[in-house]
Structures are given as structure tokens and as C-alpha cells.
Structure 1
């Protein structure tokens, strides 16, 4: 499902595809051709335009896609920044110094001089327009920067324009003390440190803590003594350790998404690092006297298994901890604290609910009191508490709860240290921020209205101004387009800072927030686009949002020379006839309005993200598929996105199988009525992960299995009862029942509203109970998610299933179980396993895309391209 990632808001060029084995009950056109004539290219009834499609393959586009948007890297705490930019003229690093009149832009260094000196030092030829590095690290003095080429670290001095070699990079070596650590992109206290750094320092660097072999150690710089402060650390109940086993190496390779081959090492793999010390994720207090740590107990969690059949010389068993929905033995979270001078860390009992989770641990003022958010297992209630470290006393600051949906809390932010804090809630049905007093008690809304205040971008603790990103506030715009706003801490002075009908969001700033606010807050670096409008990066005035200068515009010159055209945007209604849905449409670049084209929809059900792109994207796999002779679309659906109302987001709560299909079908029907060139008798659907699940459901569930004729389903979580516990329970819903009722409750789907939207109705014998800290041993969590397996007997049309055999996200067992059910139902389908591939299919991307195109060409165009084993 790629949920971390997952997430799909960030599309990879190696998206979807799989191989098809046997010809299923094909289209009418194919049947008319007969088994022999289908083998000949000349006999194809309606040949796909393979020449045009090949012109827009991922490989063909890679070299000419160039940079999309400026990603500023600030020089210290100044507003000046540098960035790397590539267009048809080559790759270059730029320095930009802003000013109220627009600022100045120039080359950061002379690329010709650097290339010349790099060639002499490395004995390898390099060109000034295509230097072999894209990232640099400045020294803290800002007088020089460093970069790495072929494992050698080089240093360029700006004033003298000279290059020197600092020797080969030592694997996992700590970041040199004279280098500037780029913290853009997040990471709070106790968060990720520089690569290779095992020390987690307090604020004044007078002490640091590290972990080794599951236990914690503290070093006081004044004495330089190393003191062990925990002794009970163990496997799966650890404060941190470096796993050097072969199993760890295999898992690291899977996490990288690449194909595992013998002898290769992923950069994130620490299995060969002999230094057992690692940086623990502790959170230090502002005064540097205490730290806190969430310790997770997985000792009773059951393992899941995969077999790497490609490993040499023998296949290797890979095992990992994995919790599934409704299981009794799940990961449990504990709060541990330490105060300097104590002999050992100690646990503080903050239990309220059975199997609760802990998050957002922080120290608001000093090391005396720590704050944490606890959330119940059904994820329908949260409690923000303050804990006295010395006594263990707990004070509840606020609580939030909901029925018939799940909560999605965001990190707490303070207007100033020891002052009011900001809490995000959907209590009105819309995500808004609220101002609370330091000790609890709501004072006022910070934001109001029927739109989504998505994240806190920045807070000025002196002026108590807040920069907030959000969606859906600006009239006349597509609802997912992100904008940046500034508001005073008292709720006044609400100001739009990046006006313009576009999506003002990039991968910049903390947590991917939009429109980077400069360190002094005088300027905003904004990159904006729409699917039908390529990226433009500008400098804005920080007070008014007025554009001061243009930095760069995305270069589409080479793409357009090939015939590239922007996708078309559209909107339609959901199946309720009221809710607005948004989509994008790709046509063949040789489009003929007098012809009829089959239509194919890419799908991803969410609900953590919707399979619909808002900002500009080439969207290579979808665009290439269209060139064969298809109309290819992506369109939203109720229940698909958290960026709208709570009702929209949680529409599918209690029915995580079919809730999106009615909207997909109705959207395509509206497009067919609107455009005569769309052939509604030839409709295809495809998706990966959750999209694979949804694709199979479309061909299995009446009446959708009559409408969708061809489905391409990859790595689907077809049985969410063996997908991960947290995601399934969060999005489908889980019921809290007395253990005596557990047998009766086993068929309960969970979540109110399930019956209303077609999900299984509640089992009356499974009585929901109230959970608290006193009845943990008397309750059980019940969930039963509808599966695709149950619908196997309904299969119509042509369905292809695929999975990687090393998928440790959506286990291949989900696809294999569906295949087993289809076989038992005597259904014809296509099935493919990618050897050595994890969830992302990154190792076989081009092959994936080719097989996907051939499958749709065969079953929707009657173009039996797969005449033999040769791929032309």
C-alpha cells in the first residue's frame, strides 16, 4: 500500500505493470481474428501506435525531463540561498541573494574551472555542462563547499576557485564538525542526525546519549565518562542497536525498493558496520537536563516470512515482525525518561487504553515535565497529557474523540515556549487549528471555515504569527490546490501569501510544506503549477505575497519537440450527483476526434491519499499508455483524500473494499456522455497496491464487473485481514468488545455506517464496550474486512494479477489467496510473480510498463502484440 509513503502522492516513474501469461476470454475484436492470425502483425485488427508509445517511454524521457522546481538551500540563517538547476543547456548551481527589488542571481561557481580541476585530480574527463554531482554541502564558514564523486570527497574554495581532494569517503563516517548540517525537511529534537553520527547531543552539547546492543549510554562531556543507564534492553524490546545479520541486509535491500542481487549493498544497510553504536531517537528537554524515549515492545508480535529464491548459493529465509488486524499480540508503546545524574532510565506509567500508541513526545519548558499524546487502538480517541517526571503524576490537557471515523492528529506547536499551543481537530467536520492555553482549555480558533488547514509551516515566537498551509479555501479553484497563509496568534490578520490559480506545493520545506518561508521571514520562495501548467519558481514578498522576481521555469522544450502535450483537467460529479470530483485526462498525441477510443482509469483508493495528481507531472506511465490509442484518466472519489472534509475523507470507513467503485463508474459514464470519442463498451482499470485491490474488486463485484472489461492488478492487499494492523484498523474500523462476545463478534466489520455503504452489518451479539485503564484484560478488538477472495465466483472480463515475491509491505500471500480462490471458482485469469521484487517493482520497471501496455492493447484494441517471446 506504500502508506508511509504510501505514500502515492509522490508518483514514481516505475509505477505499475506486470506480465500476462495466457490469453483470457478476449475482446470481440480479438475473437474475430482467430488464433492463427493474431500471431501476425499484419493481422491485428486495430494496431496500437507502438512507435509513438515507445517514443515516450520512461527511459526516453529521463534525459529530457530536467528540473521541475527550485529547491532552495539557505546559507545559515540568511535569506540567501543556492540551488541546483538542469535544463537543455546543462546542469548548474545558482546563488540567489533576495532584495525588496527582486534580488540577484548568478552562478555559484564557474563550472568550467571546476570541471577542469576535477578532471585533473580524478584523471577522468568531465564536462562543465554535465557535472557528476547534484548535491553539495557548505562548510559552516560558507567559504567552501564539498561534494562526492566516485566515493572521493572534494572541496571547492569559493574565493580562490580551487579544488582539492579530501580522500575517499569512509562508509558511515560522522559528518565533519566544520560542515553545515542541512536540517531543511524536518527532524525535531532527538530526530535524525547527520549520517553516521551515533551521538544524540543535548542543546548545549554538554552531554550526549547513544545506544549499543539494545541499551542506552550517556556521556558527560565534562568528565568524558561513559555510563550505561539501561540494562534490560533486548531484541524486540530495545533502546536501539545495529543489526548486522544477513536478515537485516536482506530487509534493508527490500526497504530500498530495489532488486536484491548477490553481493550488492544498499546505502541504508548497516549490516557490515562494525561499530555497534547508533543514535537513539530520544527527545531532549530544552534545558538539556532530561530526555524521553518511546520504547516499543514487539516481543510477542508474530513474525512473517519471505524467501529470497535468487540468493546465492541457497535461497534465504527472510523474517520480520508484523502485526495483523484484530490480533491480540501487537506492538505496545511505553514512555521512558531520564534525568541527568540519575543512575538509570525509568518507565512512567501512562496507560489509559489497551494497546494505546504514544506520539508527539516533547518538553514544553524544561526537564521537569514532558508532554505526550496517547491514542487508543481503534484510533477514535486521543488524550494530550503532561507528565511530572519526578512523581509520575499525569495531567490531561485536552481530549478529542469521534464516532464512525478515525482521528488523524497532527503535531502540537507552541506560539512561544511556555505559551499557548495549537491543536488540530476536525470537530466541525473540517480540519482547523485551535489555540489552547498552556495548561489546556480552548481559547479561540486560529483558522475557521469550510476548508482544510493542513499544516503549520512556521511560527514566529516573537510576533506569534503563524504560517499555515491549506486546501479548498480559494473560490474557483480545484479543491486540492495548496496555498500558504499567515495569521496572527489571536486569529486576526488572516492573509493569503501566494495568490494564483495553481497548486503552490513542492517537496520543499519541513514535511513537504508549500512555499518556503525564508529564515528572516522577509521572503517566500514559491514554486507553483497545475497539471495543465508547468512549474514556475518565484520570489515573493514575505509580507504581501507580491511576486518580486522569477527564478526559473521548467524546461519542456525537448519534450514538446517529441510531440508532448499537457494532460487535460476535468471535473465531474460523484455518484451522489452533488460532490465535485477532479481528474486528469491523457489523449494520444495523434488524437483524432472522429475516432472511438477505449478508456482506461488508473486508480488508488486511499484514504490516506487520492490517486489524482494536482500539480504538474509528466506522469510517464499514464501518458505512454495513452499513446497506444487509449484515453487514460485518473479521477478522485469520495473516501479518497484527507485534504477535504471529514465526511469526504471517511466515506469508506467500515467498507474498505468497494466504496470507491460507484464514483469511478459514474465519472467515466459522464465523460462518455460528454465526449463522443470515448467508447464506454471498452473500459479498463489498473492500479498498484491499494489500486491493485480496487482493480480486482471492480472485475469481481456486480454491477461493476459488467462495466469494467479489463483489469490490471498489482501487489494488491486483496485480503486486508493479513495486511498490517495499524492501517487496516485505522481505515476500516475495529470494534471493542468484551472477550465473552469475541466469538460472536468475529464476523463484525467494524465502524459505523458500514451497512449504509454496502459493508457488512453489525453483529448484534458483539456488543461494543467502553474501554478504560481498568478493563484491559476483559476486552478484545474485533475486525473482519471484506476480501476480494469472497467474490471470486463473480469474475468477468480479463483480470491479471501480479506480485513481487519479496513484498514485505503487502505480503504476496494476499495475491496468492485471490489466485487460489479464482482457481477454485474455475475462473480464467492471468498471474505473474516478479522474482526478487519488493513492493515497488523498481528493478523491473521498463518490463512492467511494457507488459501492462501489451495486456490492454490485446484486450481493448484486439492487438495481439505478444506473438512470441520477443519484445519489439
Structure 2
């Protein structure tokens, strides 16, 4: 599942199953008749019967990758100025542009002459390069802004702007940090913390004034005074799984890290960097410096008691290898513990700070608001229903409560705390009214006023002007007549007055505020409206100039058509849901088409694309002769009300299916070309779980006829503890009452009910006097409990090295289906993690399309092992 509240782009990444042009069946091969055993639908019913592989092959991932050009500018600012550059690719090639804004429009020009660059790069490297397709997309400006550097084939080059000349810097020293004269921390234009920017190779975490840095080695922490050149070991008790940082070069760690990253063998530069990392045992620790560079804070994770989980890499040479790692599961007693440690310059060692209140609490958002004398942080209880924001005096160890937030029947998800100015009021995000809003609190606590109000969702702070006390916020659902997930940016005064929309227009807006706040770089689009990038006035929102517009020319030559947005009612007949429909390009309204739903249950994101996207896997699937649908559901998105977002709290299996079924039925009532007798469903991760549930749970197992379930978390009792408890809820019960319930024959959190259902133990409140006398009970319903209900055709797919959603979930469901004497299909991708890569991604997309073509179209052509 795409867990830990990842954004939708990570779900789309897992779904982007590549379909190359080689090995794809050709049109003439598909004209053969299906064998008698195939399910064939009468032509007299005007139903689509034959998969259109010619059309589907036209829109394979490999074919589209080269002609799907840049969609949005990504402004990269020069220092703290408003001047920015960006990389843009269209049918004329790839180029870097420099833009200097002004109130009257500003100036846009090429950052460098690509012909001169290609010529000199060819001379220096002795390899031919084309001016329209230069071999780099990332550059780093020098701090003096007189030139920039980039890497090609592990060799570093430097371009001087004034003379338009290129020189080779050779290969960088292995393990060396980035040069100090490069402007790396500002390339993304975002706000950053104190100290130098983090890079993979830089082990130094610098203080804001660069007078000192810390690094980790062999589980312990070291402090370096730059002026003195002294290195002091400031911790001595570091051990494995209770560490301040450690680079483990064993094969087990290397493979797990590669799986977590989702990619391997990304080229010589990555391999060289990996080698450098393995040679230098120093690494960059995640510490927070105080603004005055006098103190360092660190959240230390203790996993020594956490149980291990295992995978076997059967492809390892010369023999299969066991992969072992720490993994917490819901309801377990021994979970990761978080502790606060601090170091104050001049002291001999780092020290722990006692901020414990709840058993198994989590520490978040550690920061120094003014100086190194006091540190602030958020602590959250294990059920994630209570939060405290506290301040600790490091000299005395005394802590002060600044505010607390509590919720019932849902879970809290705090956002980073921001200050209107140093030592001034702070902004706190809460859903206490049922809608996500920011509130203004005095520096020492105490609510002053709401910063934002209304029945819409404010989801982030883009920028704060500490001088004018103005805040730029982003949110959804405020503008009438728009799809509720379209994002806009607003400016509001620090006292909650003067809220101003800065990017009007019925579209989804991705806006970046420039460093001086004078300008906003806005790219806006909808699923049915291609992206346009403009520059706006940062105070009024007035459009100053258009920078770029996505080039669709080559897509249009293929006959590309955008998906059609729609809205329907949820199963309650009231709540509005949004979705998109893909049709075949050769769509014939007189025919009847099977419909396939792509699903993902959330709740960290909803499987609905808001801005423009080609969505190649869904587009290609439709070309076979399907209507492909993605649509939201209650409980799916955090971008709406709390009631909407947490509709499914405690039941992640069933709540989305009613809305999916109702939405498809409403579309069929509107459009006669949708055939409700042939409905398919598929999804990855959480979508794989929901797909299997649709095929197993009445009455949905009668409605959905075919399901393709990828890497599903079919049993959340063996999934990630934090995510599972956050979404299913966990009961806090006293150990005494839990034991009494067991003696009485009741089981806390019995199988088949919501979290804690069937328990005779009473739930107790956690407080500072009770954190040792409780336990956490949870039992989550599983898909394998429903195996006997399977109808239709179900395919289960998993990678055997999935260290996110363990393949045990899929295997347990397969075991239950076998025991229930049910027929199903089963795919295991050897050596693959949660997201399928390379040939397995291509293979999976092909198998998915064949599966639906066979079982929904009756287009059965597999006569031997060869994929044609």
C-alpha cells in the first residue's frame, strides 16, 4: 500500500506499469477467433468483443514517454532573488530558460546557447552531443551566479555565463561533500532549515553560521568545531537499533535500502556514490540546530525490542539470501520508542530530555524557536488521538504545555508549526471545527484568533512575510462551481483579515511564491485542460505574463484524447464524488463497452486525478475496448472535511465499495454504452486490497466480475503498525481489565469486528499517571476471512521482496482461497519490491491487459507460452 501518507504521485508511480513496443502482440495476430472455451458475447447485442491491440500498442508507455513533454515549470531561484531558471522540453528539444520578473512582464531568454554547449561538451568529452537533447537536466549555480555546474557520465563541468565557455572539472573525489561555492540549498526555491543543504555524500550537518557541524559514525555522534579543528565524540552508548547514525555495508542492508528506494543500478554515478558511501563510514545525522548555533536536538529511535521480519532473495548468487529487518505490527507490545536528546556547545556529551507522557508516544516537529536555551516539540499518543505542543527549558529540564488537541472517532495528523516572526505568534493547524484551518496562538500559548475560517480545507503554508505579517496558504473547496480538489493559493493577514485569492480560474493550481513574495509562479490545468504556466503578482494575483504551455502536438498526432471529468453522488445519495472516464479513441456510442474501475482506498489520498495527466496505464487499457473509470469515495481524501476523510475510520475494507458500485451504476444510467454485466476492478497496494475485497464481499462480488489485485495489504494485522493503527483505530485498555476479560472468555479485539470489538475490557484514558498500566488492542478484519465468497475471476500479484506490504498478505489470501476450493490466478515477480520495475513492470501491464481482454471481452488467444 502507498502508506505513511504518501501523496498521489507515489500511487501513480506504483501504477505506471510500463508497456514497451517490443514483445507486444500485433494487430494481425489478434484477428484470430477465440477458442470455443472462451467467453464470447453475441454480436447482436452490439457489444465490443475483440480487443483492439493495434490501438492499445500505440499508447504504450515506451511510445508515449518520448512525446509527453514538460507539463509545468519548476522555478529554481538564484539565491534569495526573484530571478529564476527552469528546464523545458517540447517538440523542438530541451532547453534551460532564465526569467527576470518585473511588474510589466519581465524578460525570458535562453540561459545559454545550446549549440555552443553541445559543441564544447563534444570537444571535451570526445562524445557527440546534440543541441536539442543535451545529456543533463540538473544544474547547480555558483554562489556568485557567474556560472553553473553539471555532471555528464560522472564528469563534472562548469559553464561560465559571461564568456560562454565550458571546462571540465574531472571526476569528483569519492565521498567528498559538494563544493562550498555551489548554490544547492536554494535550487528548489523552498524554505530550508539552518546549515548547509543535505546531500547523499555530505556527512556534515552544519550549524546555521557554519561554525560547527555534527556527523555520525559507528552508531555515535561527533561534534566538530570548524575554527579549532577539534572533533569531539559526544555520545558513547550508541548500538545497533539504538543509534545516532550508522552505515551498515552488509549485503542485507544494501539490498533492503535498494528495495526501499524502489530502483537499482541507475548508472555509473549512482554506483560510484554507493561505493563511496560504503567506504566512508561517516554519515549525516538528522539533527536540528538552534538559530544561535549553540544547541542541537535529536529524536532518537529505539528499536532494540522490535521484532524482526524476513524476506528471501531467491535470485541472490551464489545461493538464496535471507533479508532481515525490524518491523512493527499493529497491537504489538514492543514498538519503536522515540526519545529527545540535546547537545549544548561546551558540554561534554549529549543528554536525554524527559518529555514522556504516554506509553509508546511519538515525538514530532522538534525545533528551537528563538535560541538554544529552549526547545519545542509535539508529542502524540500511540492511538494518534491526542497531541501536546510543549516547550522544554534545557537548563532546568522543566516543560511547559503550550496547547493540546484531542479528537474522538478519528486520528490527528498535525502539520508543521510556523511562526509569524521570530519569537512571535505561531500558527497551529487543527480540524476542531470539522475543517482543516490554521489558528493564531501567542508565542507562549493561548489561542488569539483563527487565521482562516469557513467550510473548506486549508492544507499548507506556502510562505510567511515576517515583516508585513502576511501569510500565503494553499487550500481546496472554497471556490464555488469548481471540483473540490482543485488547489488554490491565498494571501491573508496575520490577524485573519483580508483573505485574497491569488490564482483565480477554474483549474487545479500549483503555485510557488518567489523569495521576495512579489511574484507567484502558477501552473494550472484540469484533466480536460492542458497545463499553462504564468507569472502573477504576489499581492493581487494579476497575471503578468505567460511563460509556457504544454506541447501536445505529438500526442495529438496519435489521436490522443483527454479523459472526461464527471461527478456523481455517493451511495448516501447526498455526498458529491468526482472522477474521470477514459474511452477508446475509436469509441462508438452505439456499442456497449465493459467498464473497469481503477481503485485506491486512501485515506491519505484519493484515486482521482485533479490536474492534467496523460495517465498512460489507464489510457492504454481503455484502447483495448473498455470504459476505464477512477472515482472518489467517502473516506478517501484528506482534502475535504474531517467527516468525509475519516468516514472509514475503523473499517478500511468495506467503506469504499458502496460508493464505487453506486458511481458506476449512475454512469451506466446516464450512458447506454456502459455494460453493467461486465465490470472489472484493479488497483495496486491499497487498491490491490480493495480489488480483492470487491471480489469477495457480498453484494459486490456479484457486481464486479474480474479483479486484478497487485501487492495488496489483504491482512493489515501484519502490516505497518503506525499506519494500521492510525486508520483502523486502537483500543487503550488497562492490563488488569484485559486479563479479567480473558479469564471471562472474551477476547479483546476479536476477529471479524472493528478494532477492539468483542472486548469485555473497558477503554481507559491515557494520562501522565497511567502510561505504564495500559496495553493496546486491535484486530482488523481480513480479506482471507472472506475467501469462500469468491466469484468471478481474480488474479493476485505480488513481488517476493516487498518490504512495504509483505508478500505474506497475498500468500495468506491465496492459501485461504485454496482451502475454500476456489479457482484464481497468481503471479509472483521474483526479486521485486512493492513497485514493479523494468521487465516486470512491462510484463505486469501486459498481463493485466490480457486478463481483462480475456475475461471481459472474451478475447482469448493464448495458445502457447509465447507473448506475441
State the match for 1:282 in structure 2: 287
Query: Paired residue for 2:678?
Result: 682
Return the offset for 1:549.
Answer: 0.6
- 1: distance between equivalents of 2:134 and 2:850? 38
The answer to whether 1:807 aligns with 2:832 is no
Question: How far apart are 1:4 and its partner, in Å?
Answer: 4.3
1:368-517 matched pairs, under 5 angstroms: 368-505=373-510, 515-517=511-513
Counterpart in the other structure of 1:179: 182
Offset, 1:851: 0.6
SS of structure 1 residue aligned to 2:845: helix
SS in 2 for 1:816: helix
Q: Out of 584, 590, 597, which is 1:601 matched to?
A: 597
Task: Report if aligned partners of 1:504, 1:526 keep a CA contact under 8 Å in 2.
Answer: yes
**Residues 181 and 194 in structure 1, CA contact (< 8 A), matched pair in contact too:** no
Identify the residue that residue 24 of structure 2 maps to in structure 1: none
Equivalent position to 1:328, from 322, 326, 333:
333
Distance 2:749 2:78 in 1: 54
The whole-number CA distance in structure 2 between the counterparts of 1:747 and 1:623 is 48
**What is residue 202 of structure 1 aligned with on the other side?**
207
Name which of 748, 771, 790 aligns with 2:785. 790
CA change 1:405–1:532 in 2 (3 A) is same
Aligned length: 843
Distance 1:811 1:858, change over 3 A: same
Report the CA distance between 1:393 and its aligned residue: 0.4
Extract unaligned runs of 5+ from structure 1: 20-29, 39-43, 506-514
Of stretches 698-707 and 775-784 in structure 1, the one that deviates more from structure 2 is 775-784
Deviation at 1:563, TM superposition (A): 0.5
Cross-structure match for 1:2: 2
Asked if 2 retains the 8 angstrom alpha-carbon contact of 1:15 and 1:845, the reply is: no
| Change beyond 3 A, Cα 1:398–1:807 | same
Normalized against structure 2, the TM-score is what? 0.94
Match of 1:309 among 299, 307, 314: 314
Q: Deviations over 1:102-149 (max 9, x none)?
A: 111111100001100111111111010110111111111111111111
Structure 1 residues 37 and 659: alpha-carbon distance in aligned structure 2, compared to 1, 3 A threshold: closer
Q: Give CA-to-partner distance per residue, 1:454-508, whole Å, 9 cap, x none.
A: 0011101111100000000000000000000000001111100000000002xxx
**In 1: Cα distance, 2:250 partner to 2:364 partner:** 30
Give the Cα separation in 2 of the matches to 1:221 and 1:264.
Answer: 30
Which whole-Å CA distance do the structure 1 matches of 2:549 and 2:586 have between them? 27
- Aligned equivalents of 2:535, 2:48: Cα separation in 1: 54
**CA deviation digits over 1:422-472, x for unaligned, max 9?**
000000000000000000000000000000010011101111100000000
CA 1:99–1:18 in structure 2 vs 1: closer, same or farther (change >3 Å)?
Answer: closer
Determine if contact 2:330/2:717 at 8 Å carries over to the other structure. yes
1:740 aligns with 2:736: yes
> 1 CA distance for matches of 2:282 and 2:625?
57
Structure 1 residue matching 2:341: 3-state secondary structure: strand
Structure 1 177/654 Cα, relative in aligned 2: closer, same or farther at 3 Å? same
Q: 1:617 aligns with which of 599, 613, 616?
A: 613
- 2:388–2:404 Cα contact (<8 Å) kept: yes
> Is residue 529 of structure 1 aligned with residue 531 of structure 2?
no
1:242 equivalent in structure 2:
247
Report the secondary structure of 2:779's partner residue.
coil
CA contact (8 A) 2:509 2:525 kept: yes
Cα distance in 2 for residues equivalent to 1:585 and 1:521: 39
> Aligned with 2:279: secondary structure?
coil
Task: Give the superposition deviation at 1:739.
Answer: 1.3
Deviations 1:593-639 (CA, angstroms, capped at 9, x unpaired): 00000000000000011111101000000000000000001000000
Partner of 1:848: 844
Among residues 701, 705, 725, which one is paired with 2:701 in the alignment? Answer: 705
Q: 1:191 Cα deviation (Å)? A: 8.9
Q: Secondary structure at the match of 2:54?
A: helix
* 2:693 is equivalent to residue 691 of structure 1: no
Which residue number corresponds to residue 760 of structure 2? 765
2:821 to 826, 836, 856: 826
Q: Deviations over 1:124-177 (max 9, x none)?
A: 110101101111111111111111111111111111111110001334421101
TM (norm. structure 1) is 0.94
Q: CA deviation at 1:786?
A: 0.6
Of the three residues 117, 130, 138, the one matched with 1:114 is 117
Instruction: Tell me which moved more, 304-313 or 483-492.
Output: 304-313
User: Do structure 1's residue 60 and structure 2's residue 55 form an aligned pair?
Assistant: no
Q: Which digits, 9 at most, give the CA deviation of each residue in 1:502-557, with x for residues without a partner?
A: 0002xxxxxxxxx1111111111000110001110000011110111100000110
Distance 2:128 2:17 in 1: 38
Kept after mapping to 1: 8 A contact 2:2/2:11? no
After the TM superposition, which residues 535-684 of structure 1 pair with which residues of structure 2 at under 5 Å, given as runs? 535-684=531-680
Displacement of 1:246 in angstroms is 1.1
Q: Say if 2:171 is the partner of 1:168.
A: yes
SS of 1:692's equivalent in the other structure is: helix
Counterpart Cα distance in 2 of 1:264 and 1:245: 21
**Residue among 113, 130, 145 paired with 1:127:** 130
Return closer, same or farther for 1:374/1:270 CA change in 2, 3 Å cut-off: farther
8 A contact 2:796–2:827 mirrored in 1:
yes
Distance 2:357 2:646 in 1: 26
3-state secondary structure, aligned to 1:86: strand
Q: 1:311 to 1:226 in 2, by over 3 A?
A: same
The structure showing larger relative contact order (alpha-carbon pairs under 8 Å, at least 6 residues apart) is 1
Q: Output the aligned Cα RMSD.
A: 2.3
SS in 2 for 1:278: coil
Q: Tell me the SS of whatever aligns to 2:99.
A: strand
Alpha-carbon distance in structure 2 between the residues aligned to 1:861 and 1:459? 56
> How far apart, in 2, do the equivalents of 1:14 and 1:656 lie?
20
- Picking from 75, 78, 82, the partner of 1:75 is 78
